[in-house]
Homo-oligomer: A and B are copies of this chain.
């Protein structure tokens, strides 16, 4: 049994050298994040994830959340771990100090989140959803709502949920049918059924704060008639503590492929007269608020992909070092060796590792962009940060999660037959990772957002400026990195070609453009990841040249090289799939499938 060990060295490298931690902590409001504080937080998070969360991961898988008569009992140990999580102040790390948070930069909370997700994906969903509820209330809550809910949500005393999906309203939220009827005193009675509600019911806290999409009477049809409500499990007494039980009950939880430790609830609102809630923000603007907060959630799910992938990688490395099988290639009759010596095992491990490093680098750079978008005093820098983050969030969500599924599957493969045995633990990472490309918007939803709102709507302005940065970075890949540089340049060419095609065809042939959306998302992910790996390689080379003998630098050069030869080489083919692949995809008659 291998426990998670936070890859602090690569985390620090990505934060400091690639994402510009120094500039981030110099932003107004981030003054608390001195180098010492950042270091201490990373160390402490690494300890908590290794010692508290990681050991509960397999337990949660095997002995998942249980439902009985509307009550959900979480995995033994989860409640106690959550209590420690709250007591240690982890819940409010990135939250507004006004409500008890620590106000630390997104870059730091991204790194810490990665550790929660890697050590225990199922557990980490609970604070992640609370974060969503906090953001919704911060964006649009009244002062009274903020005062009533935020302190307890920020501390983690209560948890939050996002209630969007209904049986006929999944990707298409325009189809939401839940109703909210005004009571007359400013509150509403909510009626309807919501599905796929993560931690929609559990036994870890005294209250649960549901954020719920519903329609008021006479609201317009479609997305412009959806409002957002806050509906606590227990209504608040005058002193702000939980009082009477509200009319929202968990009628079942799902039997899922993975993340068994995380209860996925079906919630019934209003079966006994109506669940009492209050309107958040303005009527009919609910979807807009949800989308703002969903951006954070999508970024976080991208980090889940990174976390699952890292966990799968670590387990595979431990096994590959321990498992002795066969002689070394080219040494006939030689002694048996650990399988990490075998070329294809190395290829598999490198294929995991290289993508993990690229995913981490891109995610952290995007986290830093969000910090600049939020806090930079220079308006141009704020706008640039926002535009970059808006462009990259669907990529981080879509590419990192799809890559994570493949990486976790390779993790199983490294274990051979043992990988297929559940007790080994490798299969759990594949089962857990498999949700990440689905929830908070499938990969297609991300890709449609990417080519539509993030590229075509602005005629590719942001992505072209990013491409220019990529080209500039590729020119630094000279000398012994010229081979990597050539691959990067060719991949950027392919990306640029695909961007032009999308900008040219999005309006004229929207179906063709959408048929190429997911291959385009992969293409951008691969090339953007390669860009960051190239930046890392230049730094590594400089350190080695300066006499720094840390093997970390040689390893970084190897992963960059591997990434270039195995992933950047896919770029040209993907660009062909984007620009020519729609014909085959759309030609077939519906009933010929």
Contacts and interface: CB of A to CB of B under 8 A. Distances in A.
A546 interface: no
A173 to B, nearest CB: 10
Given A336-B172, A444-B344, A583 B569 contact: no
Contacts of A280: none
A420 interface: yes
Interface in A521-572: 551-552, 554-555, 557-566, 569-572
Contacts of A422: 255-257
Interface string A208-232: 0000000000000010000000000
Most buried by B among A195, A320, A347: A347
A325 B170 contact: yes
A81 interface: no
Interface in A300-314: none
Contact of A584 (B431, B565, B577): B565
Interface stretch (A142-150, A385-393, A512-520): A512-520
Nearest to A560: B584
Contacts of A517: 343-344
B421 A437 contact: no
A377 interface: no
Contacts of A560: 584
A150 to B, nearest CB: 29
A530 to B, nearest CB: 13
A171 interface: yes
A89 interface: no
A558 to B, nearest CB: 4
Interface string A406-428: 00010011001101111100010
B417 A255 contact: no
A354 interface: yes
A570 B330 CA distance: 30
A589 to B, nearest CB: 6
Interface string A156-194: 000000000100101110110000000000000000000
A140 B510 CA distance: 63
Nearest to A328: B511
A434 B412 contact: yes
Most buried by B among A344, A448, A571: A344
Contacts of A36: none
A514 B438 contact: no
A168 to B, nearest CB: 8
Interface in A214-254: 222, 254
A175 B336 contact: yes
A317 interface: yes
A511 B342 CA distance: 8
Nearest to A447: B344
A587 B540 CA distance: 15
10 contacts: A256-B422, A346-B586, A347-B518, A413-B437, A420-B439, A554-B588, A555-B589, A558-B584, A558-B592, A565-B580
Interface of A: 165, 168, 170-172, 174-175, 195-196, 222, 254-258, 317, 320-321, 324-326, 329-330, 333, 336, 340-347, 349-350, 353-354, 405, 409, 412-413, 416-417, 419-423, 427, 430-431, 434-435, 437-439, 442-444, 447-448, 483, 510-512, 514-515, 517-519, 551-552, 554-555, 557-566, 569-574, 576-577, 580-593
Closest 6 pairs (CB-CB, A-B): A562-B584, A561-B584, A569-B573, A344-B444, A343-B515, A558-B587
